[in-house]
Structure 1
Amino acid sequence: MTVRVDLPGRAYDIEIGEGLLDRAGTFLTSHLRRPKVAVVTDANVAARHWPAFRESLTRDGIESEVLVLPAGEGTKDWTHLVRTVEWLLAQKVERRDLVVALGGGVIGDLVGFASAILRRGVRFVQVPTTLLAQVDSSVGGKTGINTAQGKNLVGAFHQPVLVLADTALLRTLPRRDYLSGYGEVVKYGLLGDAAFFDWLETSAPAILAQDPAALDRIVRRSCEMKAEIVMRDETEEGDRALLNLGHTFAHALEAATGYSDRLLHGEAVAIGLALAFDLSARLGLTAQEDPSRVRAHLRAMGMKAALADIPGDLPDAEGLLALMAQDKKAVAGRLRFILARGIGRSFVADDVPTDAVIEVLRNG
């Protein structure tokens, strides 16, 4: 399956299906000016997938060099950005060459940003190996790193030239990582496709069992929805902000837990989705039963759905609100929330009362 991101002058394909990693060389060949690529991955992905990926490249006559970084959200920082850029320079990567991001969202964001600033822009390919990366972070050209002040506050819009989403790789993920990625899948149904959310609810057993047809559908529909929004609004001036449903809460929770394994990104998003619907219901925008329906589905999938599900202590409601104030979606010092007028009907709100947010956090 192919989903086209048809941006003027920067169009690219998202290829989706099983076995794409073994055919990666075939897909990359048409994008190469010379038969050589620089690959950046992490230690976990390298152990599982680098040999097969390298073999695929070799079969098609493509030379490759690899940089293996530590796994985890902590890698998405200044230190590893500098290390990656300097390694790419040492490999004599030119502007017409290809850099490959082989990994999850951390690697994709970091390598995409390194490619954006290297020689003022080098072409790169996303080969996402996690559900979260396949349905969200590999598509749309958002790249960046985290800082002490917040998540993704330093970065650039830099579109890939190709995305290869091999859904067979999802069955190699630890259960927690797989479910973390599912938080972003749920987001798409909640923000703009109620029928998709209905299907997710009824298909929970197949999705949990990682049925191949179910995996193909959740990746394809998520990519279709993101591509449609990105084509309307590449740099988040309008509609693209809808993709941040749940994320204002989520990013504050990630900052509060130190971007650690204590709370994975998709877990934070899942809790953020529930809180966004809590806030929408408190403001009288959506039916009172909608937040319960969202949480019920997350619970059915074995996911975190409330602040109490996060291990350890958290800042109080006022402390979490202060972390939200660093969110890059703030406009003129005011927080922007994505709220809902029902499942599948989200919108951008700039005038949310602070006391309502505090109450949701206190009860969350």
Structure 2
Amino acid sequence: MLELNVELGERSYPIFIGDNLLRDSERLGSFLGQNRPVIVTNETIAPLYLDILINTLHEHQPLVFVMPDGEQFKTLQWFERLNAFLLEHHCGRDTCLLALGGGVIGDLTGFVAACYQRGIDFIQIPTTLLSQVDSSVGGKTAVNHPLGKNMIGAFYQPQAVFIDNRVLNTLPSKEFAAGMAEVVKYGLIYDADLFARLEQHSDEIKAQHPQLLPQVIHRCCEIKAQIVAQDEKEAGLRALLNLGHTFGHAIEAHMGYGQWLHGEAVAAGMVLAAKLAVMRGWLSEQELTRIVTLLVNYDLPTSAPEQMSCQDFIAHMRKDKKNKAGRIRFILPTAFGRCELIDDVSEAELDTLFSR
């Protein structure tokens, strides 16, 4: 088993990566203590892994809340429903929520944990590659609004993250590919060696090599933990983790949440960011080709939706959380393993970008 920590003082917590962690009653139980567990999951994950987790925690007599599966359900309505469930079952501050699912479950459960009775414990048990390498780590919790993705939320850290390698065995290939977009992102923003390893071992990683894939997941979590430890609330450095997300969130919002998977939108967004970097002379055409080729090798889209115009993008990007003083801010790669945050992109530059 692999283990690392997110170092945030009194809010520090461990990340465990290994096989059959869903069955580790001793380790899971140690984070529950006397707390009352409530498992939050969705209709896709429940038939696969809910009974395993219930059996693991049977001594704690967990409650279960099951919601529909999909980004379109990460809303204030389902936030309210989970809060109502907790109230109906007389859950107090000694409750611990267990987020058993992907990014939607983790984000919504964490936001409820941050707000219910002004804060209760929660544990992340991510079941998608994307949530394992990204959304389960770092304490970003939120729900979507029709006018913007993740616009209503809080920074709230979990007690622990349990990444069970075995759950990826049932992950659809399309979801696995979406997770790889975030993995590629880490290579671009922070670790050129990771990017090269993703190029060299794409077949083994796609086949979920039992040693290689957990090491890749560990490296991604390690990078994010290091960044979050330095900038928990995205005052500066952490914003670099949003490479591809300014464009990607615009795609998700415009196309309708759930029409494009988050990772798919981020992949297309990374290509747009790289093209913008090429236009500025920060990346070469050859480097852009490497990025596009790698994303294609992991079965990801590399073009924005044809029906989206430059003005469509701008309208959505004006609502991005990174913006300051009304200026849209972008993360652009300047080399493999290095990115910069900029706010001086003109509409004319964007017009040129989308006409390429």
TM-score range, shorter chain: over 0.9
Contact 1:33 1:97 in 2 (8 A): no
Q: CA separation in 2, counterparts of 1:32 and 1:44? A: 25
Are 1:5 and 2:3 counterparts? no
Aligned to 2:54: 54
Q: Quick check: 1:157 aligned with 2:162?
A: no
Q: Pick closer, same or farther for the CA change 1:141–1:214 going to 2, 3 Å.
A: same
Instruction: Please show how residues 229-308 of structure 1 align to structure 2 within 5 Å.
Output: 229-260=227-258, 262-307=259-304
Shift of 1:34: 1.7
- Describe the SS at the equivalent of 1:259: coil
Secondary structure of the 2:52 match is helix
Structure 2 vs 1, CA of residues 147 and 195 (structure 1 numbering), >3 Å: closer, same or farther? Answer: same
**Does the 8 Å CA contact 2:45/2:101 hold for their aligned counterparts?**
yes
Whether the aligned pair in 2 keeps the contact of 1:29 and 1:35 (CA below 8 Å) is no
The amino acid of 1:186's aligned partner reads: V
Unaligned runs of 5+ in 2: none
Deviates more, 1:35-44 or 1:241-250: 35-44
8 A Cα contact 1:12 1:160, kept in partner = yes
Match of 2:140 in 1: 142
Q: Choose 195-204 or 167-176, whichever is displaced more.
A: 167-176
Corresponding residue number in structure 1 for 2:337:
344
Equivalent position amino acid for 1:234 in 2? E
Distance 1:49 1:33 in 2: 22
Partner deviation per Cα, 1:88-107 (whole Å, 9 max, x = no partner): 12222222321111100000
Distance 1:301 1:238 in 2: 30
Aligned to 2:307: 314
Structure 2 counterpart of 1:316, one-letter code: S
> Could you list the runs of 4 or more consecutive aligned residues of structure 1 that deviate by over 6 angstroms after TM superposition?
none
Q: How far does residue 361 in structure 1 lie from its aligned partner after superposition?
A: 2.5
Aligned mates of 1:64, 1:314 — CA distance in 2? 46
Q: Aligned equivalents of 1:95 and 1:347: distance in 2? A: 41
| TM-aligned CA deviation for residue 35 of structure 1 | 5.5
Partner residue in 2 for 1:207: 205
> Structure 2 CA distance, aligned partners of 1:362 and 1:46?
45
| Alignment match, 1:18 | 19
Aligned residue in 2 for 1:117:
115
Q: In the comparison of the two structures, how many residue pairs are matched? A: 355
**TM-score between both structures, scaled by the size of structure 2:** 0.97
8 Å contact kept, 1:257–1:314:
no
1:251 & 1:33 partners in 2: Cα distance? 38
Moved more, 32-41 or 11-20: 32-41
Whole-angstrom distance in 1 between the partners of 2:91 and 2:158: 16
Deviations 1:303-355 (A, max 9, x none): 21112xx4xx5231111111111111111110110112111111111222222
